[in-house]
Structure 1
């Protein structure tokens, strides 16, 4: 049940979300609690926590789930979503990020940006004057991580000590999973080949921070080692935007890290498969696992809407 009147958590209220490393375990827990309450109360209708709020959504990179989940969540909470692409803006004709930020900050209560370089997001945040949300950069994907944590809480309850194996390319999704895992006490073990590992500094931070809450983070070579005792096996596409021209090499290097039924059988009892989508069945995950009874992928996709709506409510709702 959502408390009335709703009180935004001070760690989230009025602040940008660029990476979850800037936020506290308590703030993350508050977002996840509200996300669960919104999901439970969806049939009865959501409270208008974003009434009279306009959120600008800028998509410099293609999107399905990020766009649809933000628009749906914003409108269900009574807000208005303004969707923009470079083709819709002077940004696509050479206007600077600084100038764009200063204009949008006068007309919207928050800005969501899906882009490539993380520095572009930071530049927007420096000049917007309103909260900025990272809808994806090359380095981080915090909104996906919130939905991941919500999905795992639904399946397993308390996340402290929960072992999650991430397999394949240690990209922005892997990085953000390690960060949210550290803040919620998960043990995240990433199995990645040489040349595909997440930054060592992130792993060290997540391991030290997670240890305070019964978890940790590490990287191994062997996927079988990573999945032993894991309650969830997580993967992402092997060929992301920007990887064009390296498809064959990436498929060859990452083939041993494919999630299939045999690998799931090596995991802990009741283990589920996760994927942030879009998936390429037969590459990083088999069709049978993706669409089978041990898949939590579709709950995970739906939870993008609940987690992001909860984030914006804590960020923007009046206290």
Structure 2
């Protein structure tokens, strides 16, 4: 009789635990299971170097920190006693504010360095700068003109280097984009993203990431503004490996057809100001409007990494309820925090793993 009562109580307790493990919308069901993902000490130059599981882990950590800090109002000094050197050859609003406030919010000390504050590549070699910063800081975020600058820093650094933007990739932007889409749609696998614009660094990072998350990619670029050929070759390989679709065209409407997400970016990046007049002419017809959205799926949304100019997307789309640009901008903070915590600590998420 005692055994039966114990078994009954045990079954009731297990049932209660099961109920407690039924999670909120957009999360998987079941207890948190530790995955063999450890990114501590890694550098982050391109998402090409990260697997599907590693990217999902970064998004999970980011969403976990957002939940615990923003909604649960918890104080998590995970980076207390640590410092970050933020090297900015290019100005920025989102990258600077998200990194600086995020690192401080986690208890660390951010140090902002412009070209006027540091000798990188001018009076001091990248190799020497990397060795000096390795002795003074715990991590470096560098926003640079040339991707080779980042590669040079990594060669002689003993601490993680984060790509805050280069001419080839902008990986921290793409983490924010996919966190935003995961939050909005509930999962990522099976979504179709349409890129309409320049074959630039942001597109390159989409191409290195989408297939790994089960996301189809449709790309429209004007003739002569195609993505880098080596990036395209790798994107084709990833698409074939993960069973996703990769479609390229020069027709913006065709690229948008059947898409869940419409994405564009600046047509004139920093350093290309002399090309502005020609680029505006070459990108004629590439503005995203409601007419573009008419061929997308009924649940379409819009992303832009900002700052935005009206020739890229009209007000009707940009300020519509379908536009996720401001949640996307906020998620720059949570994803850079998730990345920095993952590269510097052994932190493991406390919330259940989201559906991807």
What TM-score does the superposition give when structure 1 sets the normalisation length? 0.93
Match for residue 342 of structure 2 among 310, 314, 318: 314
Match of 2:203 among 170, 174, 181: 174
Give the superposition deviation at 1:180. Answer: 1.5
Structure-1 residue corresponding to 2:295: 266
How many aligned residue pairs are there?
Answer: 314
Match of 2:164 among 135, 147, 150: 135
| Structure 2 counterpart SS, 1:58 | strand
Q: Output aligned runs, 1:54-203, within 5 Å.
A: 54-91=83-120, 93-203=122-232
Inter-partner Cα distance in structure 2 for 1:223 and 1:300 = 23
2:37·2:53 contact (CA, 8 Å) conserved in 1?
A: no
Determine which structure has more spread, i.e. the larger CA radius of gyration: 2
Which residue of structure 1 lines up, in the alignment, with residue 39 of structure 2?
Answer: 12
Q: Output the aligned Cα RMSD.
A: 1.9
Q: CA separation in 1, counterparts of 2:196 and 2:291?
A: 14
Distance in 2 of aligned mates of 1:230 and 1:87: 44
The answer on 1:297 being equivalent to 2:325 is: yes
Q: 1:22 aligns with which of 45, 49, 55?
A: 49
SS at match of 1:246: helix
Structure 1 residue aligned with 2:31 = none
Aligned to 2:62: 35
Distance 1:311 1:64 in 2: 19
Partner of 2:274, secondary structure, is coil
Mapped partners of 1:277, 1:318: distance in 2:
32
- Tell me whether 129-138 or 246-255 shows the greater mean CA deviation: 246-255
TM-score scaled by length of structure 2 = 0.84
SS in structure 2 of the partner of residue 134 of structure 1: strand
Encode CA deviations 1:9-37: one digit per residue, 9 max, x unaligned: 64522100010111111110011011112
Query: Secondary structure at 1:81's aligned position in 2?
Result: strand
Per-residue deviation, 1:147: 0.6
For residues 77 and 242 of structure 2, what CA distance do their matches in structure 1 show? 34
* Aligned mates of 1:164, 1:100 — CA distance in 2: 39
What SS does the corresponding residue of 1:289 show, helix, strand or coil?
helix
Q: State the shift of 1:46 in Å.
A: 4.4
